[in-house]
Amino acid sequence: MIDEGPPEDGAADTPIGRGELAAPLKLEQFLPYRLNVVASLASQALSRIYADRYGIGVPEWRVLVTLGQFGMMTGKAVGAHSHMHKTKVSRAVALLEKRKMIGRRANRADLRESFLSLTPSGRAIYEDLAPIALNFAKRLAEAVDPCDREAFERAIDRLIDRSAELSAEIARSRRGS
Amino acid sequence: MIDEGPPEDGAADTPIGRGELAAPLKLEQFLPYRLNVVASLASQALSRIYADRYGIGVPEWRVLVTLGQFGMMTGKAVGAHSHMHKTKVSRAVALLEKRKMIGRRANRADLRESFLSLTPSGRAIYEDLAPIALNFAKRLAEAVDPCDREAFERAIDRLIDRSAELSAEIARSRRGS
DNA sequence: AGGTTTTAGTTTCGTGTGCAACTAAGATCA
DNA sequence: TGATCTTAGTTGCACACGAAACTAAAACCT
């Protein structure tokens, strides 16, 4: 159908002419894309481990780790600490509860929420998975040149902050459209 | 609300006691998690821009950019270059074609595949979005201290390689289970 | 007190996704 | 040439997701 002409421009890196700077936008150098690639590769690889062992997914894993770290907290707090939407938390909690990995106890002082915590078997699973996960993260991080590691961690911190800012800015500009 | 119970263990870096090293596994310091957070924040923020403007999602965006970069290529090549599953490519291509942003031309020499390329209106959209996206990436990257930037980019390259290796290793060990 | 607003959490609903099965076309080898 | 294997791309299916609606309980007002 559309017959698309010849290769368009010769892919020369001549800086162009039109009013705008025609930076090339190479996908493989484009930061948001690169972040997505590395995140999804790492996440997928790790999740296969706990999916194989215990049949849980990323949201359940995050709930498990958060409760393993803090011991007892509400769903809201779990969501805040693990950057998860409340529906995701709700469903992950429901599954983990069905599998008897976590328990709930109503908060007598506020019946809307309940306190979640690991059951003994949930904790056993957590203690099985945690060192495996840490080892995975360690092997991943070891790929980075030791003298780049500090800079890298700093950079990630900055990027998390900034992307949250940009996200909020865009949401704001959208509201006022 | 939940003010984070007592510090659990003193977070001392004492090298252990039980057979295993009892490193704490704090989610907020856990590399795969951190990568996911920054990637999804950045990706979501950026995608809102092109979703608002042209009603396309991430897969369509990637196809658009890839074709903008290479001019004319097969779906397979698009998928390889943009790290996308062939079904994702297929559906993104179908949508973009329906919206007349890209065109297909059968490859007379191999009828299984066809060559994809931007239509003039597709290219116009690409040329509208590309500078916006580049500006977004620039503002994002500017959050990183200039003297950390090189190290950061190197680190991401290494992590992409390593996470692909780990992913393959895990898939392999799973096959032989 | 009683009415409104906010909040924690669940459910519904439309959509996106990956896997596996499938189709159609090439490649390979006899 | 025909039989088998591989490959490019599509589709069916089951499931995961987020937005929005909803429920029940607090919080906030006079």
Residue-wise pLDDT for B85-143, tens only, equals 999 999 999 999 999 999 999 999 999 999 999 999 999 999 999 999 999 999 999 99
Half-sphere exposure of B57 (CA within 13 A, CB side): 8
Q: Name the residue with higher pLDDT: B19 or B31.
A: B31
A56, A85, A173, B55, B114 from A176: Cα distances, Å: 41, 24, 5, 18, 42
CA dihedral A137, A143, A147, A148 (to 10 degrees): -80
Q: Quick one: closest CA in B to A164, which residue? A: B41
- Among chain A residues, the shortest Cα distance to B22 is held by A131
Query: Across the interface, which of B139, B149, B166 has its CB nearest the CB of A166?
Result: B139
Q: B54 forms bridges with which residues in the sheet? A: none
Q: In this structure, is residue B25 part of a structural domain? A: no
**In a domain? residue B13:** no
**Residues B58-95 pLDDT 10s:** 999 999 999 999 999 999 999 999 999 999 999 999 99
Averaged pLDDT for residues A8-26:
50
Is the per-residue pLDDT at A7 higher than 80? Answer: no
8 Å CB contact of B144 and A158: yes
Whether A176 is in a domain gets the answer no
Burial A72-98, CB ≥16 within 10 A → b, else e: ebbbebbbbbbbbeeebbebbbebbee
Helix, strand, or coil here: A104? Answer: strand
Note whether residue B38 is domain-resident. yes
Residue B110: CB atoms within 10 Å? 9
Nearest to B133 by CA among B68, B50, B63, B76: B50
Q: Do A32 and B42 touch (CB under 8 A)?
A: yes
| Residue A78, pLDDT score | 98
Give B-chain residues touching A10 at CB under 8 angstroms: none
- A170 CB neighbours in chain B (<8 A) are 45, 48-49
User: What's B133's domain CATH number?
Assistant: 1.10.10.10
Nucleotides of chain D in contact with protein CB (under 7 A) are 7-12, 16-20, 24-27
Distances (CA, A) of A117 to A47, A62, A64, A68: 22, 13, 9, 8
Q: Is residue B128 part of a domain?
A: yes
B109 CB contact with strand C at below 7 Å: yes
CA B15/CA B71 separation, integer angstroms = 56
Number of domains in chain B: 1
- Strand C contact with A87 (CB < 7 A): yes
CA B12 / C1′ D19 distance in Å: 43
Domain encompassing residue A89: 33-141
The CA-CA-CA angle for residues A143, B149, B155, to 5°, reads 10
| % chain B with pLDDT above 90 | 82
CA B160 to chain centre: 11
Per the domain annotation, does A177 fall within a domain?
no
In a domain, B71, yes or no: yes
pTM: 0.89
Question: Does a structural domain hold residue A115?
Answer: yes
Partners of residue B77 in chain A, C-beta under 8 Å: none
